Structure 1
């Protein structure tokens, strides 16, 4: 490719990026404009529902039922708009040094009551020597919440969620492994597309928002899944430049190997959902 062609391609990419930014800004403004009248509708429906709470006649009971339908749809639209605005604003982040383990612990604490209620065991293998990464706490928290929420919803009858942090060749990695229903190939291919959802009433923006948030941190996300076995998400974040210049070193690689060994030794860890544990799965069968 000649220098002229490269320059033209660069200009075209800049033009497309500018168009995307303008559309995203317009869509965000439109979503905000929709939220305002929707809030008014929701509040008035709530007041109307209170007026009809003691409905005695068939006519007023029918009216109350219709009001409840409108309330549910208002709530659904409100959630959809909130999800969309989070998706649209993910790129607006401010990165500061932070600890991935601490962020994970805070998010897992949010899900502790639900895990207990749904009989889901959360197993942690968090590398104590994990270096800091550059993060935007709110954006990263939202991404982790979406991923863990997705894993929990895949285990309605209980199961195990393994959370593991480790050093990798390129930075800091996080594995989220569940023993849920797993996904077929079609779902796995489209799961990160905006508005794609296999769940009734789902907005289809949770996982796309998670991926967008991770990529805004310079990271990437990979998924392995098997129907009836479960799913493994692997997220990797780059090291800050100062740490990356010196490399993670042999000690860091040894720590990573030690963490991996600890996870494999536990009989309770649900590693059968990934290819690396196929031998363990065969022994159990």
Structure 2
């Protein structure tokens, strides 16, 4: 139990009641004394009594109210300090009454605000440390009325990239970009996110530019993020080449070893004069050769995907062409506006996705296609009720040459992803509730 709780508690009501009672008692005693001294003179007694009691009452009440008024002024001052962001003040009240409870609650509020301010300062320090030391160059640009776009924040990576470590805050963006690589200026001029390459030969560097617009303190701001991807891309390129060589070597060995064996068997049969089995051997050699040709052509087609030739195509016509090659069920109504796509490429991408849905173990009538407009994008969903994918497969499913099928090349989903990205879109994969997989392609409404 606190020392304050052990003290005798005298509430404001009790104290003021005792004060009023004491003043009344003093007035009555004075009146009785005057009546004894001045019998038969009630008016004189009343006047003298008032002259004695009123000053005493005023002085006593003032002495009691003055500390309370001082406390209220102190409360007003601390509230003003809180409003200005200064939470270092606390108050003290000597009495053990209702006002002491108010002061205790006020001090507790100040303590909470101080702790929150300290926590906020620590968070800001942590965030600033992370932002300053991240390898991603960050520029925050403000758009001021009748003034050039001004840099209001730049981290260490941005200063190293654009000004050899010098401070950038307060400078106009156009002034800073005068010393930047032409590729960066061109990338900023195009608008939107994208990749660009700066430098030549051994000094060539690949960057990713991301841009985000938002309002801050009533002004428009743009956040520019520049991330160097050269090292990461080179590492991924090496890994991809290793995977390609491994897959192609595996497929070539699987095809060439049987071909060599069959050729040897055919030559032995010819030497013995037993030619009745030669047609079967030659047919098998032809099948393996065609399979190998198809495999190589698949890789070549993926590596040489041409730039899409965008045309306006009715969705009904595209769906009809797909329905003539593979079975599926259309969900909902198709968008009224035509698709802005390369018909051949998009047909190939959707055909790969629908065939994958059939190969997932789903019943054929559970393979579904839904095409709809959602705000400013076209969403295409290919749905099935197969076995779905585990986390590892979901993570790698869109990586080229990754396949869980014994005879798969790992190019179906990767090619669909390449086509979607060439159209300015993307592909996502997600397991459906219950069972099955949902493959979603997001495309822009316009070309």
Per the normalisation by structure 1, the TM-score is 0.60
Encode CA deviations 1:69-117: one digit per residue, 9 max, x unaligned.
43232122111122112212224221122233421221122114xxxxx
Residue from 63, 69, 72 that aligns with 2:287: 72
Residue 158 of structure 1: how far off its partner (Å): 4.3
**Structure ID, larger Rg:** 2
What's 1:87 paired with?
302
Structure 2 CA distance, aligned partners of 1:61 and 1:189? Answer: 51
Give the match's secondary structure for 2:417.
helix
Aligned residue-pair number = 206
Structure 1 CA distance, aligned partners of 2:340 and 2:286? Answer: 41
Residue from 300, 305, 323 that aligns with 1:108: 323
What's 1:41 paired with?
none
Encode CA deviations 1:198-250: one digit per residue, 9 max, x unaligned.
11221111110011011111111111126981111111110117xxxxxxxxx
Structure 1 CA distance, aligned partners of 2:287 and 2:362? Answer: 23
Q: Report if the CA contact (8 A) 1:184-1:226 is conserved.
A: no
Residue from 161, 172, 196 that aligns with 1:5: 161
- Aligned Cα root-mean-square deviation (Å): 3.9
Structure 1 CA distance, aligned partners of 2:409 and 2:433? Answer: 23
Per the normalisation by structure 2, the TM-score is 0.40
What's 2:354 paired with?
148
Q: Quick check: 61-70 or 140-149, which moved more? A: 61-70
Contiguous gaps of at least 5 residues in structure 2: 1-136, 138-157, 163-179, 185-195, 199-204, 208-228, 242-258
Structure 1 CA distance, aligned partners of 2:423 and 2:357? Answer: 22
What's 1:183 paired with?
389
Residue 153 of structure 1: how far off its partner (Å): 1.2
Bigger relative CO (Cα 8 Å, ≥ 6 apart): 1
What's 1:132 paired with?
338
Structure 2 CA distance, aligned partners of 1:170 and 1:159? Answer: 31
Structure 1 CA distance, aligned partners of 2:291 and 2:338? Answer: 38
Structure 1 CA distance, aligned partners of 2:288 and 2:357? Answer: 26
Structure 2 CA distance, aligned partners of 1:128 and 1:181? Answer: 28
